[in-house]
Structure 1
Amino acid sequence: MGVWILNFQRRKRFFAFKFICNFIKQTTLSDLQVHPSTQISHEISTHSILCKNLSTGTLGSLFQACIAPTPQFQIFLSERQATSSCILRKQFYSQTLVADKPQYDEYNDNTVKYNPLANELNTICRILSDYRRAHHDLEAALNGCCVKLSEDLVEQVLKRCCNLWLSAYRFFVWAGKQPGYNHSGESCTVMVDILGKVRQFDTIWDLLIKMNNQGLPIPRKIFTIVVKRYARAQLAQEAIHAFRRMRDFGCEPVIEDFNALLSALCKNKLVSHAHEIYDEVGVTFPSDMRTYNILIKSWGEIGDGAQALRVFHEMAERNCEPDIAIYNTLLESLCQVGQLEDAYQILDLMKVKGPIPNISTYSIFIHAHCEADQADEALKVLSRMKRYGLVPDVEIYNALIFRFCMMDKVDDAYRLLDEMFYKGVKPDVCTYNTLQRVHCKHRQVKRAMRLLVRMDDDGCKPDDYTYNILIKMLINVGCFDRALEVWNGMEGRGFYPSVTTYTTLIHGFCKRLKYEEAQKYFEEMIDEGIPPYPCTCVLLKKLLLSARKKLIVQVLADKMRKSTSRSIQELSKMMKQKSNKKSGQSKVKMAKEMGSSKAMRIQEK
């Protein structure tokens, strides 16, 4: 059976899934005894291979078949079958939206573990999803589910239903009232994070006050979450007030909490508020390197290099010796605002007093010169690195290659690429994509194809951007055979086309009026369960109608309507033809505008 599925064509995978489901339903005791080699429980590798190539809707159906087998098959659900079900569950969740994806790590990288709380978890999450409205009687539904609560179960439910904040909060309150159960610190932290995402701050404080009155310990992490959520909502004063209220709940603030407050404010562009609270209570806490790092970086991000230098000199006044991280942060802040002279003075100071500049230090200058279109100055910094025995990393080379490509100095970029191999630095896909973009921009077909071959020789796998720009260029220049050659070689390189890759190919064929090829790969896209973009449906439909292929449009619409993906089913409405009545009316309207005797005859008919 495994060999049979492996040899199946890609466009027939749905029928392979249907065969497995029928096999599960029709298997009886005698069949398992006569043909033990055909048991589904022994075909775990087949399940794994099949799951990688099925759509989300198909995986959902097969997942339900595995966790709820037929009565004849249930007694034979061995441990290996449970493992097979976990494979399906893992692949199913990997393709669903974040709202449906569990946020906890249920699986190990090497072995697939079965979750003993899977049935209870699925039951409660289904109830929370069905009773998500405020007028729904969620508590009555939970009382009837007869599930034994545990700290682990409640945490997993909250993490999975993090986007259903009202249902999650009502479940949290209901669980706290159940006899024999008390909320853990982790479950309270998750609940506060869920409420903070939707800015239900009053509910958060009510929950914290209730926990404090009951004598429950409040984790310090909760206040860090509250401060971050306030800062993200641009409520600086409320974030500072939450930090000050920590003592009211039995949490004495420490330097880590103060740094978390400063970091939250600075990351959300509330730098002035961060420095006000620092000037006010900074003396209370012995500032460490992270404190100064946050302040210096924040001034650089808003373009005030003078303030960054002021904080740096303030460190020396407080007898706090800056480390290499502080120096690099200061240099980056100065380079961001264009104060390269001040940055070089700091670099000279480092050479005299220490610490010794590292790769990150020189990388800051190289990126600054590249962004300022000063490739020659960037090469001088690179030469200085080599004199001090420092080997540039791939990011430094990528910045230089990108700048040379922007200046159309492709030969210099290739010399840097060769130097990377000589220095033992392995190029990544960004390195090759930068060069490939230049070749595609100038329609250099041979050089682009040679670069793709070089990627194979160097062991670098192309990504969707590589294929998109290459296929688009080949179709635009009319090299359809080479475009299909690149397309057919994707699977051999371990890449499976995404919706953007399909869109690039189909739109290219449509613009070149190749409706047969566009139709072929559109159908393949539907068979793979990949919902196309609405503009793709409109473009293909317009091309087919202009070629008088109305029947093909109807066939595609019916095929989309029968798909297992709901998104594709909704898009099938866009592929349906307009009625003949409207078409006739438009012809009459055009004829009237002509104002001829022929127009009158058309109107009479």
Structure 2
Amino acid sequence: MHCKPRRICPSKSNILSSMRVLASVVRPISQFSSKPRIFSLSFFTLESAVSNEILTILDTVHPIEDQLETLVPFLSPDVVTSVLQENQNVGVGFRFFIWAMRRKQFRSWVSHNLMTDKLCGANGIDLAWKSLEDLKNSGFPIVPQAFVVLIQAYAKSAMPEKAVESFGRMEEFGCRPNTFTYNSIIYVLVEKGVLLLALAVYNQMLKSDCRPNRATFGMLINASCEAGNTHDALQLFDEMAQRDWVRLMKLLSFWIRSGGRASFLDRMDIAV
């Protein structure tokens, strides 16, 4: 049975609990002041105190998830990034990243790219898989972002086959791909020059009722044009046109540079 993150409700008990947590994270700092004032602390100081508290949890508590929930009111994308930068245990850091990515307000490209780089380090990917196994066995939910950084780490490490393999294992971990995940694996396949496989993943995306976005169509149309496959490019264009993105995508220069640009531009003029 999966454990769902506890919803933070503005009840009196939760407010009191939050204040106690705030006091606990700022106490090490306030002890150096003769007249400590919690609310006079700078935002930077509070973020630093919360980051240190999280790092202590990562070092001393297992599992980390329940204890981290008490700090949710004080977290921000900057705190998540700071923790990932300071933490030296990639496996535990990856587990913290997965926990943080459950909430949209804690996501950022900075922490995403940082986690990807961490996985590219020595034994980083192996430690990530171990954390995924632990989470699966413990019943904690695994978010798609976990596999996105894995896919991108494999790609940066010149192991596209492993990236595809990790995408195929998502179901094993009870994780359903989202648009971001599909786009990540499509990008890997397009860069590898295997357009047919990229189109197959796109078809799987549609069958899974996962909506493609501008990035999806942009990658596939660009790759189709560069491969001289105007038929598939036009078909993708028609599908994209149904989603009202024609005018924006019309600005992309690869349409003009495509091998069959005359017929392609004719189709664009008709659609627009």
Fold conserved (TM > 0.5)?
A: yes
State yes or no: 1:431 paired with 2:143.
Answer: no
| 1:323-379: CA deviation from partner (whole Å, max 9, x where unpaired) | xxxxxx97743365xxx5xx69x99xxxxxxxxx93357998997553125227x85
Distance 1:482 1:312 in 2: 65
Pick from 214, 232, 235: which aligns with 1:517?
232
Letter in 2 for 1:395: W
Note closer, same or farther for the CA distance 1:416–1:312 as it changes in structure 2 (3 Å cut).
farther
- Looking at structure 2, the residues matched to 370 and 307 of structure 1 have their Cα atoms a distance apart, in angstroms, of 25
The 3-state SS of whatever aligns with 1:535 is: coil
- Give the aligned length: 223
Contact kept? 2:80, 2:100, Cα under 8 Å: yes
| 3-state SS in 2 of match to 1:462 | coil
The residue identity in structure 1 corresponding to 2:266 is Q
Matched, 1:533 2:249: yes
Q: Structure 2-normalised TM-score?
A: 0.62
Distance in 2 separating the partners of 1:508 and 1:456: 28
Q: Show the counterpart of 1:550.
A: 262
- Is the Cα–Cα contact under 8 Å of residues 394 and 425 in structure 1 kept in the other structure? no
Q: C-alpha displacement at 1:427, in angstroms?
A: 0.8
> Out of 68, 79, 82, which is 1:359 matched to?
68
2:15: which partner in 1? none
Q: Following the alignment from structure 1 to structure 2, what is the Cα–Cα distance between the partners of residues 459 and 483?
A: 23
CA contact (8 A) 1:499 1:530 kept: yes
Compute the displacement of 1:307 (Å): 7.3
CA distance in structure 2 between the aligned counterparts of 1:477 and 1:446, rounded to whole angstroms:
10
For the 8 Å contact 1:507–1:539, the answer to whether it is kept is yes
Q: 2:84 is matched with which residue: 362, 370, 373? A: 370
- Shift in Å, 1:472: 1.7
SS at match of 1:358: helix
Give the SS at the match of 2:176.
Answer: coil
Aligned pairs for 1:26-65 (under 5 A) are none
Deviation at 1:313, TM superposition (A): 3.4
Partners of 2:196 and 2:31 lie apart in 1 by: 57
Whether the 8 Å CA contact 2:147–2:170 is kept in 1: the answer is yes
Q: How many percent identity over aligned positions?
A: 17
1:458 partnered with 2:173: yes
Match of 1:506 among 214, 221, 229: 221
Change (3 A) 1:435 1:555: closer
* DSSP 3-state at the match of 1:494: coil
Code of the residue aligned with 1:313 in structure 2: it is P
Alignment partners' CA distance in 2, 1:445 and 1:452: 11
Query: In structure 2, how many angstroms separate the alpha carbons of the residues matched to 1:437 and 1:312?
Result: 49
Change (3 A) 1:309 1:470: farther
Separation in 2 of the partners of 1:530 and 1:397?
Answer: 29
SS of 2:180's equivalent in the other structure is helix
Of residues 122, 125, 140, the one that matches 1:410 is 125
Indicate the SS of the match to 1:313: coil
Q: 1:506 to 1:312 in 2, by over 3 A?
A: farther
**In 2, Cα distance between the equivalents of 1:447 and 1:479?**
15
The higher-RCO structure (CA 8 Å, 6+ apart) is 2
**Corresponding position of 1:395:** 99
What is the distance in 1 between the residues matched to 2:197 and 2:221? 15
Q: Which runs of 5 or more residues in structure 2 are unaligned?
A: 1-17, 39-43, 58-65, 103-110
1:483 aligned residue: 198
Provide the TM-score with structure 1 as the length reference: 0.31
Asked if the contact 1:475/1:509 (under 8 Å) is kept, the reply is no
Q: Is the 8 A contact 1:475 1:483 kept in 2?
A: yes
In 1: Cα distance, 2:222 partner to 2:150 partner? 24
Q: 1:527 to 1:333 in 2, by over 3 A?
A: closer
* Cα distance in 2 between the residues matched to 1:412 and 1:312: 45
- 1:472 maps to which of 183, 187, 193: 187
Amino acid corresponding to residue 211 of structure 2 in structure 1: Y
1:16-95 matched pairs, under 5 angstroms: none
1:516 is displaced (CA, Å) by: 3.4
Please give the alpha-carbon distance, in whole angstroms, between the structure 1 residues aligned to 2:22 and 2:71: 19
The 5 Å alignment of 1:80-159 reads none
| 1:485 aligned partner, one-letter code | A
Alignment of 1:194-213 (within 5 A): none
Alignment deviations for residues 252-310 of structure 1 (CA, whole Å, 9 cap, x no partner): xxxxxxxxxxxxxxxxxxxxxxxxxxxxxxxxxxxxx86x969x99xxxxxxx967964
Verify: 1:313 aligned to 2:36, yes or no: yes
CA contact 1:394–1:428 (8 Å) conserved in 2: yes
The letter of the residue matching 1:438 is A
Instruction: Write the distance in 2 (CA, Å) between the matches of 1:415 and 1:362.
Output: 25
CA–CA distance in 1 between the matches of 2:265 and 2:228? 16
